[in-house]
Chain A
Amino acid sequence: MRWRRLKAIAVKEVLQIWRDPRSLMIALLLPFTQMFLLGYGVNLDLKHLPVCTFDREGSQLSQALFKHFQASQYFTIARNVTSYAELTAAIDDATCGFAIVVPPDFSERLNDTGSAPVQAILDASDDNTANLALGYATAVVAGYSADVQLHWFDRQGRPLQQIEPMTVQSRVWFNEDLESRNFIIPGLVAVIMALVGAQLTSLTISRERERGTMELLVSTPVKPVELMFGKLAPYLVLGWLDAAFCLVIAALWFAVPFRGTLVALFLTTTLFLVAVLSIGYLLSVLIRSQVGASQIALVVTMLPTVLLSGYVFPIDQMPTVVQDITYLLYSRYYVTILKAVFLKGSGILELMTPILFLAVYASAVMILAARSFRKRLD
């Protein structure tokens, strides 16, 4: 490998990127806009879900239950209805995602037996929200039950400390507020970098072919590795810029706590970029047309990264077969790394395993790309 030739390729590539301001703008603006769009768009937290109440009793106790709902940050009482028909309408036109019905004998049963059922009706067309809502509603009702129970025991004249059962004092680590944003945003950086990175390099070789410059290039003594490194180098710099944008937006704008070191972040990001850029380059070598290469790059980077990297969908909840497949996906490691660096403050040593996997992946793709490049036309 000759440094001189590699440099000549890199300088030429930089000039070509510079002369094409439109694609340069896309390369720099795409991560910016994606970060904001997806950063705000993807939110798994449930806050202030509109609730419809149907109080068939109208007692003090039933109103107290609703107050518990109103007091919770997860729900807002939007409608009070007086018939099932109205309730159905409220769910149907999506003014409310959740309805709660108090039976006419609520107080009576509560006083007699110490327990009374209430009905919850959920719009499960969005099953994620429905699941969360049900969970939070159960918690609200449980809180209320505890209150009622306390009163009941109180009236029976029993000392309160006797009925203190075993309790769990949970303490959440790393994402103390259980903000879904805090674990989604670092993964989002990986998704965007996978998308942008492979797009950048997916055009380099096919562009030479389409513009007819390839024939002359392969007639020179340039070696496939010189060509590859010369072409990847400028895009790595562009990738660093993009990654810096995304990471700064994540830490400053979205206020995701950053507890790791910049060194760990830089090293792992570079490895990930090299892997992604090499994938784009490999596709560019294998696929003759620019459009084809960029389309395939989109499919092999963005799709699996969104679905299988653990960015939003937890890997340990996937079927075992799919879990095994995720080990083949480079972005899985980077998502793991980013979440750990941001939220746990993990250093290079703790992250050795995913770093090694990324390194092996990047090298394998590069070797493959250098080998698939042929300096012949037949």
Chain B
Amino acid sequence: MNAGQPAEPRIIAEDLVKRFGSFVAVDHVSFRVGRGEIFGFLGPNGAGKSTIIRILCGLLRPSAGRALVAGIDVARDAERVRERIGYMSQKFSLYRDLDVEENLKFFGGIYRVPRAELGERIRFAIDMAGLGGREHALVSNLAGGWQQRLALGCAVLHRPPILFLDEPTSGVEPASRRRFWDLIHALAADGVSVLVSTHYMDEAEYCHRAALINQGRLIAVGSPEELKNTALGGDLLLLECEMLGPTLAALQSAPGVLDCSVFGNSLHVLVGSAERSLRELPDYLAQRRLPPTRLVRIQPSLEDVFVQLIAVDSAKRRAA
């Protein structure tokens, strides 16, 4: 597992544990997020992503471990942390019966944005969210994508150095999602550290680094490239053949093969070395009268990596 340490850590999680009764929602999680870094949390629903974010925002007290945000211990001084962060909760939580500008003014007041700057900050947020001309539209009348961008606007109104975004793109159509990620990148370019969770695996590509979370544990951390290249612990081959079932069975015990799974009407074969297996596997299968019609090395998508890692991790836990 690669956990490259950022130079200027703004968020430090050390051995965080959160138990609800006997249920362990967060299980010894450690990571660091640097200045201007976009750090993604990926994982299935209920993996513990929101719980970790809530701990870092000071909304939940960790059962064990330590969380430093902007250098402040969250468990000790949550109020000082709250002044330095922006938060978008998973559930939309702006006031739907207020209009766009009223919501922004409200958060401007709550965060005590200097009055002289407030007008300009609100203008910036409205432009950023693309809500120009809709300043007086009630939030309940806005479409999902606009609502989410407004929520981001409210979260950055006080120029926090750290942003926590909990599934900000869930339920938003693809074009709007893309636009949302552009905004996140613009903020990160200004030095804002962004911790963002998502259950869309493809969105990991937009992150500088991503952490895969399953059942409360970090099972892989790294840049998208690192994850694709090393997290699987081998190379990935695509195999097309006549008889899927028997081929799958034969491959399970083939030399050099680590794992094999059905992928559509082809097979994904994880091998220790692509070179060796590309050389040896056709013969191995031909001897068993199962000659492949096609065998090539492929670059795994992040989805491949995650599906594979989560399957392995879940199997390991069941065995334990």
Residues of chain A having any CB pair with chain B under 8 Å: 2, 4-5, 7-9, 11-12, 15-16, 19-20, 211-223, 375-378
Contact = CB atoms under 8 A, between A and B. Distances in A.
Interface in B109-155: 109-112
Contacts of B59: 215, 218-219, 375-378
A221 B87 CA distance: 12
Interface in B78-125: 78-79, 82-83, 85, 87-89, 91-98, 102, 105-112
B111 A215 contact: no
Contacts of B102: 12, 15
Given A12-B98, A376-B58, A221 B111 contact: yes
A212 B93 contact: yes
Contacts of B61: 376, 378
B87 A216 contact: yes
A19 B97 contact: yes
Contact of A8 (B20, B83, B109): B109
Given A5-B112, A20-B97, A213-B94, 4 more contacts: A8-B109, A11-B109, A212-B89, A377-B59
B110 A221 contact: yes
B82 A8 contact: no
B93 A8 contact: no
A5 B109 contact: yes
Interface of B: 20, 54, 57-61, 78-79, 82-83, 85, 87-89, 91-98, 102, 105-112
Contacts of B97: 15-16, 19-20
A309 B218 CA distance: 62
A223 B112 CA distance: 13
A16 B107 contact: no
A221 B83 contact: yes
A2 B20 CA distance: 35
Contact of B111 (A12, A220, A378): A220
Contacts of A218: 59
Contact of B82 (A19, A214, A220): A220
Contact of B106 (A2, A8, A214): A8
A4 B95 contact: no
Contacts of A7: 109
Contact of B95 (A2, A16, A376): A16
A220 B110 contact: yes
Q: Which of A5, A9, A16, A19 has the most CB of B within 10 A?
A: A19
B173 to A, nearest CB: 22
Contacts of B106: 8, 11-12
14 contacts: A8-B105, A8-B108, A9-B110, A12-B95, A16-B98, A215-B89, A215-B91, A216-B89, A216-B94, A219-B59, A219-B82, A219-B85, A375-B59, A376-B58
